[in-house]
């Protein structure tokens, strides 16, 4: 069953049938390169077939570990950054109660910043809670999660003792190498494996996302099932039969029309971190070789009262992809008041979804009339199957889009620039010469070290 849909009818006056015909060959070539593993980055294509390759034994192993850890504590602290954080956060937010921090089986996240106040507040929150930890890193070398884990590890060992603390920590990492794997073996942590041929931002459907999902009570079998369903309608060389190729094609045509920024405008609060996950997926996959679409996100209707002004009348270098939800999990109607002092009785009896749908219709028409190219991704509901489908849809679409840009959508060489500067300034071992060079460089630029 297909649970996600892509509509670009409002682009008919901008994108012609001839434009689409001109892309057929390019889309087919990109699809074949992915499916046959002949394109750049072919060593990182494990995500492409993973939903149908993951075994029942592997799924049961993830679930059983999650159940055992949940018996120890009702708070799971996930430590990771980028793809080791955003996908799990997105899925849990998509499926959970809006105020789930007040409920049991809560998953919290750390390791994505350097901030003492944030860490202090986290430890204060956890001080009277039962806690287990999932540290997530393929290599174990990213500084943000490594620093956070050092602090959390010390806190756990002081609280529970070294032996019991080790029983409360599980590492999701590489199966053969890396500093986190080495640490896990020395300390006796349980482990889950990140497949070697899957990069971080494409890893949400692996144990990276599946373990936190399972801990929070989400049915991961249904997520995998939804992703497998998406493999059917996100595959094939024909544009009409491949939803991911449609989205990839539209994005690239608009880029060639000098639309350099894509705004993913989500219409429900539960979709916010799905958009954040997409932002990393798109930005890190495409932003290289001095090209690529800049991904941004807006949360409607709230942002219509701020950035909505820019979207309506700002620089026309942007296109907008709405993400809407067809069916919410609950329905609440606007009440009727006899006095009608606020003069909103005209909405009495209407559900909040009806009003939100009208806001969407009014906004896309206004932005279309304001010369913003507009298209829409519609999600059937907030279920595990739909979540699996949207994860897979976006992964496949961004991979295809990267190939249309003639670049490798699976590496991130630019990310290393800030890391190397930071390592040098912090005097990481073997960076002594770089430290001297960067100090000279910063002095030349009159950059004062903080």
3-state secondary structure of 11: helix
Peptide bond into 301 cis (omega under 30): yes
Among candidates 270, 273, 297, 267, which has minimal Cα distance to 283? 297
212, 107 contact by CB (below 8 A): yes
DSSP H helical segments within 127-242, as ranges?
143-160, 162-167, 179-187, 207-215, 220-233
Q: Dihedral sign, CA of 381, 228, 137, 297?
A: negative
Contacts of 13 (CB under 8 A, 6+ apart): none
**Is 276 marked active-site?**
no
Q: Which two tokens stand for residue 306?
A: 């701020």
Q: How many residues does the chain have?
A: 450
Query: In angstroms, rounded to a whole number, what is the distance separating the alpha carbons of residues 406 and 69?
Result: 44
The backbone torsions φ and ψ at residue 297, rounded to the nearest 5 degrees and listed phi first, read -130, 150
Q: Which two tokens stand for residue 85?
A: 């954080």
**Is 284 marked active-site?**
yes
307, 265 contact by CB (below 8 A): no
Q: Which two tokens stand for residue 14?
A: 């901008």
From the candidates 31, 229, 276, 284, which is the catalytic residue?
A: 284
322, 374 contact by CB (below 8 A): yes
Query: In angstroms, rounded to a whole number, what is the distance separating the alpha carbons of residues 156 and 449?
Result: 34
3-state secondary structure of 294: strand
Query: In angstroms, rounded to a whole number, what is the distance separating the alpha carbons of residues 421 and 418?
Result: 5
Q: Which two tokens stand for residue 121?
A: 């507040």
From the candidates 419, 436, 437, 443, which is the catalytic residue?
A: 419
**Is 262 marked active-site?**
no
Active site residues: 284, 305, 419
């Amino acid at each position: 069953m297909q649970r996600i849909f892509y509509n670009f009818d409002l682009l008919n006056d901008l994108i012609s049938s001839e434009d689409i015909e001109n892309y057929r060959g390019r889309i087919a070539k990109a699809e074949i390169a992915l499916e046959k593993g002949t394109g750049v980055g072919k060593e990182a294509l494990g995500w492409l077939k993973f939903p149908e390759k993951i075994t029942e034994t592997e799924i049961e192993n993830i679930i059983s570990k999650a159940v055992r850890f949940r018996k120890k504590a009702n708070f799971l602290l996930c430590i990771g950054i980028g793809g080791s954080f955003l996908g799990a956060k997105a899925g849990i937010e998509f499926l959970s109660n809006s105020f789930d921090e007040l409920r049991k089986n809560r998953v919290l996240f750390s390791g994505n910043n350097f901030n003492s106040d944030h860490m202090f507040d986290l430890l204060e929150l956890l001080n009277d809670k039962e806690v287990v930890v999932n540290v997530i890193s393929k290599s174990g070398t990213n500084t943000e999660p490594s620093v956070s884990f050092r602090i959390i590890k010390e806190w756990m060992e002081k609280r529970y003792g070294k032996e019991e603390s080790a029983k409360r920590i599980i590492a999701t990492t590489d199966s053969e190498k890396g500093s986190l794997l080495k640490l896990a073996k020395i300390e006796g942590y349980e482990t889950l494996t990140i497949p070697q041929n899957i990069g971080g931002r494409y890893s949400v459907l692996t144990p990276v996302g599946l373990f936190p999902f399972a801990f929070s009570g989400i049915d991961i079998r249904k997520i995998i099932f939804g992703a497998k369903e998406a493999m059917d309608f996100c595959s094939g060389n024909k544009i009409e039969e491949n939803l991911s190729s449609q989205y990839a094609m539209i994005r690239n045509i608009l880029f060639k029309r000098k639309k350099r920024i894509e705004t993913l405008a989500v219409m429900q609060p539960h979709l916010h971190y799905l958009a954040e996950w997409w932002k990393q997926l798109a930005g890190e996959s495409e932003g290289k070789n001095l090209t690529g679409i800049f991904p941004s996100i807006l949360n409607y209707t709230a942002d219509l009262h701020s950035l909505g002004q820019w979207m309506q009348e700002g620089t026309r270098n942007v296109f907008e992809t709405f993400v809407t939800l067809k069916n919410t999990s609950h329905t609440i109607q606007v009440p009727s008041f006899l006095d009608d002092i606020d003069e909103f009785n005209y909405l009495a009896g209407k559900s909040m979804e009806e009003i939100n749908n009208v806001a969407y219709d009014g906004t896309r028409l206004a932005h279309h009339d304001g010369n913003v190219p507009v298209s829409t991704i519609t999600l059937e509901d907030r279920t595990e199957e739909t979540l699996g489908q949207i994860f897979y849809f976006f992964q496949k679409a961004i991979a295809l889009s990267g190939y249309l840009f003639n670049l490798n959508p699976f590496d991130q060489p630019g990310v290393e620039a800030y890391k190397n500067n930071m390592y040098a300034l912090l005097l990481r071992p073997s960076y002594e010469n770089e430290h001297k060079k960067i100090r000279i460089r910063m002095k030349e630029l009159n950059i004062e070290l903080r």
